[in-house]
Amino acid sequence: MPVVYGMNHASAPQTVRERVAFAEPDIPEAVARLRRIAGVEEALILSTCNRTELTVCMKREQASTTLAGFLARERPITEEELERHCYLYSDDQAVRHVFRTAASLDSMVVGEAQILGQVKRAYALAGRAGSLGSVLDALYRRAIMVARKVRNETGIGRNPVSIAYAAVGLARDIFGGFEDTTVLIVGAGKMARLAAQHLIGHGVRTVLVANRSFQRADELARDLGGRAVPFDRLFQEMERADIVIASTSAPHTVIQRDDAQRLSRARRGRPIFFVDIAMPRDVDPGVNEVDNVYLYDLDDLQRVVRANQDGRREEVVTAEAIIEREADVFLAWIRSLQVAPTIVDLRRRLHDIAAHELARFHGRLGTLTSAQEDAVRQMAESLVNKLLHPPTLALKQAAAVDGGELRVRLIREIFGLESSVTAPLPADDEDGADAPPQPPGTSGKERG
């Protein structure tokens, strides 16, 4: 069964999280080292700005000490600090945690889309390192599928829940798309940068930056792939802009109602959207009274965020129900792995007995036609399959409840099988109730 050990934004401050984070180029070798530790059967490392987690297959009793020791050797942090800030999930909790993480229910901003891509990348890097086995491979393929299902069947990712995202959502309502829009940033504040990055991510291609310090404007413009403009040409450049993000440190308003009226005439009715995220405000509230000029300040954006948070809370309930159902299906499969080797051994044992008896009695039957030999062989196989069905069904039912350990031992003893094994399942060509289990939602050939 899987184990998850790590820390996230809720369990550790940024100063601690950044010390345990792995750079992406370092992950393949690190996860390979993790996999080579005694007792670790499979391994994956997920490392983002908000979390670092080790997912492994190993005995729970050894996990905390083993994984804390690994992190303390790999990163500049002590085992005592890890004990204060790390969590450990195993078995059912681990599966649900991986599913919730991929679906962004465990994120700082619930519903954000970035985490799914990060989970996919971690899965790919672990695969490249050769540290995945049948359990973690199936777990993360299933987690990616569940995350897509949550996003498709709920509205958890539709409504923005941050000031910057809210500004993007309102701008989209006004302009529809951003391909032909120009953004002008007035000032060089952190929130303005974030809002601009979100707009660029949604298709904005032209970004202008104006600041009283041209050097700072140029630095921000370079970071955003845009162009710095002199502050004394602010209103001339504003005539070309569709979205203005105001974020200066001025003690008074920078853009007045009269400025907006001149802009509206110069733009000949084309709408312009002001996002004022400065404190105190950069844009005179009277600007909102001018035709085709739209103004949203921090209070407006906060109201949008609060409304969207309420909406997302309702969607989270639906998302959690999806995850619970999918986790139950996956856990039933993973428990069935404990009985699968016995099912395979039992099938092999009874079919070997049937083949041996057919060979032993072959001489007593006299000369048979090929059709008669086929009929005898089919009769023996049918008899074996009918005998196999009840113990196979009993094993699978027990596995769904408690893993079937007691029933496995009993059946192995009754049928004279060798000691129980936990090796991966061999391929089986026969479908039906007596076949060993495959990961839920897969054909056994898919690669996510």
CATH code of residue 270: 3.40.50.720
What CATH number is given to the structural domain containing 39?
A: 3.30.460.30
Please count the structural domains in the chain. 3
Residue with tokens 């359990």: 135
Banded model confidence at residue 347, pLDDT cuts 50, 70, 90: confident
The answer, yes or no, to whether residue 366 has pLDDT greater than 60, is yes
Measured in whole angstroms, the distance separating CA 276 from the mean position of its chain's CA atoms is 34
| Rounded Cα distance, 175 and 241, in Å | 12
Say how many CA atoms lie within 13 Å of 405 toward its Cβ.
2
| Rounded Cα distance, 283 and 418, in Å | 80
Say how many CA atoms lie within 13 Å of 423 toward its Cβ.
6
Same domain, 10 and 107: yes
pLDDT tens digit sequence for 384-408: 889 888 888 877 777 666 656 777 7
Domain around 42? 2-153
What mean pLDDT, rounded, does the chain reach?
Answer: 85
Whether 421 maps to a domain, the answer reads: yes
Asked if 382 and 358 count as a contact pair (C-beta separation under 8 A), the reply is no
Asked if 340 and 405 count as a contact pair (C-beta separation under 8 A), the reply is no
Out of 49, 365, 375, 406, which one is annotated catalytic?
49
- Our answer to whether residue 57 is catalytic in this structure is no
pLDDT on residue 433: 40
Show the tokens assigned to 7: 């820390």
How buried is residue 398: exposed, middle or buried, by Cβ count under 10 Å (0-12/13-18/19+)? Answer: buried
**Please, which contacts does 401-405 make with residues 24 or more away whose CB atoms are closer than 8 Å?**
402/335, 403/335, 403/338, 403/339, 404/335, 404/338, 404/339, 405/338
Same domain, 14 and 149: yes
Whether 352 maps to a domain, the answer reads: yes
- Mean pLDDT in residue range 195-206: 85
The answer, yes or no, to whether residue 312 has pLDDT greater than 80, is no
| Rounded Cα distance, 167 and 277, in Å | 10
Same domain, 198 and 130: no
Domain boundary, last residue among 259, 285, 305: 305
158-162, 222-226, 444-448: least confidently modelled range: 444-448
pLDDT tens digit sequence for 247-270: 888 889 999 999 999 999 999 989
The answer, yes or no, to whether residue 74 has pLDDT greater than 90, is yes
pLDDT on residue 421: 41
The answer, yes or no, to whether residue 364 has pLDDT greater than 90, is no
pLDDT on residue 417: 82
Banded model confidence at residue 440, pLDDT cuts 50, 70, 90: low
The residue among 432, 418, 435 whose CA lies nearest residue 343 is 435
**In angstroms, what is the C-alpha Rg of the chain?**
31
pLDDT tens digit sequence for 13-32: 878 998 999 999 999 999 99
pLDDT on residue 346: 83
pLDDT tens digit sequence for 166-182: 777 788 888 887 888 99
Measured in whole angstroms, the distance separating CA 211 from the mean position of its chain's CA atoms is 39
